[in-house]
């Protein structure tokens, strides 16, 4: 099998290296499929339980992609579709049942949740060992202390992308100035912790950060997860910087864009992730990896 580090990203370029999340995700899924094969030999096929509450169109698309990825790598998935009238107690009861089910290694409650359901209460109810989203305070605490645990899928996927680029081009986050735009528990906070653990000097920016352009202009690495279309202008990017765009937005013409002004940024960056086809596929692939890790830890079967 071809290792992620061996993937050819292209030796010559006019613009920034395109960090092809689709290609990287395909390789990661292939690795995970082999790991799940080792679990299956030990009689432990991983199980992922997914709850989809309400009829949010974007959530339905995301869940469909996750279920399909499970089928590709050999994870047994269970999808429970619940109406938007579902109460918090009903959802918590479902989580409790999955926590107690030995066939379930990972639990995923698709966000956002309908009004009237406390998102934090639901996240906190998931057993940390089955928290494949990596949002539970226990797993965030492990990450903050630099100890192994289940890490949020998008930041973990970003680190995998940076590793592929780094091995191909001799780049490392260590000693670099990194700017993370956004401070959510889903991306910004764990991303900043992962980069700190990788010995980068990290600045976390947000809506109240003064002189955002100046901060970004000093950064060797920019991770944009603000949720604002094309917030980061190409002219702000330091020449030779690596740019990771986590955002995805629907434009008026029906096309998609990210948090970064892509066409202008790629004229200055050394490498940049596209939207779509960048971070998104890596997030789902990393979810599969987290399921395998959770099953490995719970069942005591090594996969690496």
Q: Catalytic site residue 35?
A: no
Phi and psi torsions of 203, nearest 5° = -115, 130
Question: What size, in residues, is the chain?
Answer: 304
Indicate the helix (H) or strand (E) that contains 39: helix 21-41
Task: Specify which residues 47 forms β-bridges with.
Answer: 76
**How is residue 278 annotated by DSSP?**
S
Task: Specify which residues 257 forms β-bridges with.
Answer: 249
Q: Which of 110, 130, 176, 259 is catalytic?
A: 110
Q: Which of 105, 131, 133, 245 is catalytic?
A: 133
Q: Rounded CA gap, 274 and 21, in Å?
A: 8
Q: Rounded CA gap, 244 and 24, in Å?
A: 14
Q: Are 19 and 49 in contact, with CB atoms under 8 Å apart?
A: no
The tokens of 230 are what? 């094309």
Q: Which of 35, 66, 131, 245 is catalytic?
A: 66
DSSP strand pairing (256-257 vs 249-250): antiparallel
Q: Catalytic site residue 110?
A: yes
Q: Are 115 and 139 in contact, with CB atoms under 8 Å apart?
A: no
Q: Rounded CA gap, 37 and 240, in Å?
A: 41
End-to-end distance of the chain based on CA atoms, in angstroms? 14
Phi and psi torsions of 222, nearest 5° = -120, 125
Phi and psi torsions of 123, nearest 5° = -60, -45
Q: Rounded CA gap, 197 and 208, in Å?
A: 25
Q: How many CA atoms lie within 13 A of 169 on its CB side?
A: 23
Q: Rounded CA gap, 114 and 84, in Å?
A: 6
Residues labelled catalytic: 66, 110, 133
């Amino acid at each position: 099998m071809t290792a992620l580090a061996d993937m050819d990203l292209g030796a010559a370029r006019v613009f920034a290296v395109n960090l092809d999340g689709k290609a990287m995700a395909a390789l990661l899924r292939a690795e995970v499929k082999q790991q799940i094969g080792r679990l299956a030999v030990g009689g432990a096929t991983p199980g992922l339980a997914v709850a989809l509450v309400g009829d949010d169109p974007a959530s339905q698309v995301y869940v469909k992609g996750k279920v399909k990825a499970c089928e590709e790598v050999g994870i047994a998935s269970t999808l429970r579709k619940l109406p938007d009238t579902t109460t918090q107690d009903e959802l918590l009861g479902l989580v409790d049942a999955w926590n107690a089910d030995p066939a379930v290694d990972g639990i995923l409650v698709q966000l956002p949740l309908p009004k009237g359901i406390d998102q934090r209460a639901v996240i906190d109810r998931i057993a940390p060992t089955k928290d494949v989203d990596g949002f539970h305070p226990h797993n965030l605490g492990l990450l903050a202390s630099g100890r192994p645990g289940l890490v949020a899928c998008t930041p973990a996927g970003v680190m995998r992308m940076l590793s592929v680029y780094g091995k191909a081009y001799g780049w490392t986050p260590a000693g670099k100035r990194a700017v993370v735009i956004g401070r959510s528990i889903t991306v910004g906070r764990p991303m900043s912790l992962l980069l700190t653990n990788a010995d980068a000097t990290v600045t976390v920016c947000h809506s109240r950060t003064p002189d955002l352009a100046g901060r970004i202009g000093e950064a060797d690495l920019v991770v944009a997860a603000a949720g604002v279309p094309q917030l980061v202008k190409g002219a702000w990017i330091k020449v030779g910087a690596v740019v990771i765009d986590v955002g995805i937005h629907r434009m008026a013409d029906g096309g998609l864009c990210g948090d970064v002004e892509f066409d202008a940024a790629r004229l200055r960056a050394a490498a940049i992730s596209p939207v779509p086809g960048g971070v998104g596929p890596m997030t789902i692939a990393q979810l599969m990896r987290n399921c395998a890790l959770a099953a490995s830890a719970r069942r005591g079967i090594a996969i690496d």
